[in-house]
């Protein structure tokens, strides 16, 4: 379902279409194009790139592109196109969708989700990575997490 919505977005948003066309014309690897798209989409749509870029006085449930991208990447199939993952993350944020953290925990732990399960994200920008402090038996700080969320 998301693929059709994203395809519709690409086909109806001239700025996005032009950006994708420009990036695809570059002599870069697929991963490099995805990284460029991450940075350019953040700027083009004023999407908070990192958690510290969120300036929301509301309910505090906003995510940065860094967070949503890392979560989608964690949930994606191993051979998933990294450009599509970046587009999905931007689409989610622009349309108030979010990856379900319980599903992330289920993928990380199966049906043995620990009590007070914490999900961390470490890295920078396009290179965010989901980690589980309980699984790694290290604190979120020692794992280098930028973001830490407890789900239960």
SS3 assignment, position 152 = coil
At residue 47, φ and ψ (nearest 5 deg) are -90, 130
Q: What's the rounded mean pLDDT across residues 133-142?
A: 81
- Gyration radius (Cα) of the chain, Å: 16
| DSSP H or E segment with residue 100 | none
SS3 assignment, position 130 = strand
At 71-91, the pLDDT tens digits run 999 999 999 999 999 999 999
At 99-108, the pLDDT tens digits run 999 999 999 9
pTM: 0.91
């Amino acid at each position: 379902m998301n693929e059709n919505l994203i395809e519709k977005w690409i086909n109806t948003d001239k700025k996005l279409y032009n950006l994708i066309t420009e990036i695809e014309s570059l002599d870069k690897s697929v991963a490099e194009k995805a990284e460029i798209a991450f940075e350019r989409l953040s700027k083009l749509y004023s999407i908070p790139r990192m958690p510290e870029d969120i300036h929301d006085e509301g309910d505090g449930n906003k995510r940065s592109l860094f967070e949503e991208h890392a979560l989608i990447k964690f949930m994606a199939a191993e051979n998933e196109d990294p450009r599509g993952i970046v587009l999905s993350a931007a689409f989610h944020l622009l349309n108030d969708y979010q990856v379900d953290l319980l599903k992330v925990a289920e993928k990380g732990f199966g049906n043995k989700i620990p009590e007070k399960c914490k999900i961390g994200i470490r890295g920078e920008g396009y290179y965010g990575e989901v980690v589980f402090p309980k699984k790694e038996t290290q604190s979120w700080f020692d794992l280098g997490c930028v973001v830490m969320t407890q789900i239960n």
